[in-house]
């Protein structure tokens, strides 16, 4: 059942209509930020801020790696039928799979994520591919580092191996961060040249330009800008 919008029935005639989708991976996942109640609260706050109306909501317990989910499919069908916008609390509630998100992009269904409202079906494909490629690169660098360590005669195994793997992963992540910072610093310098000198104003410009953060988000914060400036 959908959530009624406040006010009289007439006040709902020209509001944006939403279909809400909620997902958790396990039935015990209810006490963190991805719990059902937390997702419902986030969606309710967002829809209220947009003066919109939730027509229907769908929820299920499924892994984010599964693309064939009955309730999500039902939500998408309802969006097409009622010409409504799909709303989720977080992007990963839809899928962590770039291929699925690209299919969603081509489905014609508009959607919005409460934590990244600037992301829509026209930009999500880019973000998904960047995030997936970054995960693949980290995995590849970690495997290469382990292979190189083994070639140097480093013993891999047991608790000591766990420590070495952790060290190598930290090193690979640090190198990935450095490469990302180098790729973005040119844009930041260009923004500074236009007169944006504060961390807040630079972050705002990066967000408006649609530049993705290293984690694939499109909303920048001053601390992220500061960290990049300090590292380059």
Question: Where along the chain do its domains lie?
Answer: 9-122, 125-231
- For residue 64, give every residue at least 6 positions away whose Cβ sits within 8 Å of its Cβ, in sequence order, or none: 23, 25, 92, 93, 95, 96, 97
What are the pLDDT digits (tens) for 16-69?
999 999 988 765 554 454 578 888 999 999 999 999 999 999 998 876 556 667
| Residue 75 CA neighbour count, 13 Å, CB half | 29
* Residues 58, 20 contacting (CB under 8 angstroms): yes
- Return the CATH fold of 9-122: Rossmann fold (3.40.50)
pLDDT band, very low/low/confident/very high, at 212 (cuts 50, 70, 90): confident
pLDDT band, very low/low/confident/very high, at 70 (cuts 50, 70, 90): confident
pLDDT band, very low/low/confident/very high, at 186 (cuts 50, 70, 90): confident
The CA distance from 14 to 12, in Å, is 6
Check pLDDT > 50 for residue 110. yes
The owner of tokens 């601390």 is 223
Check pLDDT > 70 for residue 227. yes
Q: Where are the alpha helices (DSSP H) in the chain?
A: 36-49, 70-82, 98-106, 124-151, 158-193, 199-208, 222-231
What are the pLDDT digits (tens) for 123-176?
766 666 665 666 677 777 777 777 777 777 766 554 445 555 566 667 777 777
The pLDDT of residue 4: 46
Percentage of the chain lying above the pLDDT 70 cut: 68
Check pLDDT > 50 for residue 7. no
The pLDDT of residue 66: 60
Report the pLDDT averaged over residues 185-192. 87
* Residues 196, 185 contacting (CB under 8 angstroms): no
The whole-chain average pLDDT of the chain stands at 76
The CA distance from 131 to 133, in Å, is 6
Question: Which residues are designated catalytic?
Answer: 25
Higher-confidence position of 10 and 104: 104
Tokens of 208: 């408006």
């Amino acid at each position: 059942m959908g959530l009624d919008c406040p006010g009289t029935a007439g006040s709902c005639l020209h509001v944006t209509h939403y279909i809400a989708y909620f997902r958790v991976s396990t039935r015990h996942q209810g006490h963190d930020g991805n719990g059902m109640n937390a997702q419902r609260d986030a969606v309710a706050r967002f829809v209220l801020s947009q003066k919109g109306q939730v027509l229907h909501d769908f929820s299920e317990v499924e892994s984010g790696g599964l693309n064939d989910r009955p309730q999500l499919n039902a939500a998408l069908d309802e969006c097409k039928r009622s010409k409504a916008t799909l709303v989720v609390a977080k992007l990963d509630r839809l899928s962590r799979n770039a291929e699925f998100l690209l299919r969603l992009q081509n489905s014609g269904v508009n959607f919005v994520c409460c934590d990244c409202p600037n992301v829509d079906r026209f930009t999500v494909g880019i973000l998904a591919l960047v995030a997936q490629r970054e995960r693949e690169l980290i995995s590849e660098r970690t495997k290469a580092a382990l292979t190189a360590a083994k070639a140097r005669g480093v013993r891999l195994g047991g608790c000591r191996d766990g420590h070495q793997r952790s060290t190598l992963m930290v090193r690979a992540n640090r190198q990935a961060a450095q490469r990302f910072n180098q790729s973005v610093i040119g844009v930041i310098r260009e923004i500074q040249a236009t007169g944006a000198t504060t961390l807040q104003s630079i972050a705002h410009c990066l967000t408006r330009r649609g530049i993705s953060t290293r984690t694939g988000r499109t909303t920048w914060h001053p601390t992220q800008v500061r960290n990049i400036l300090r590292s380059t």
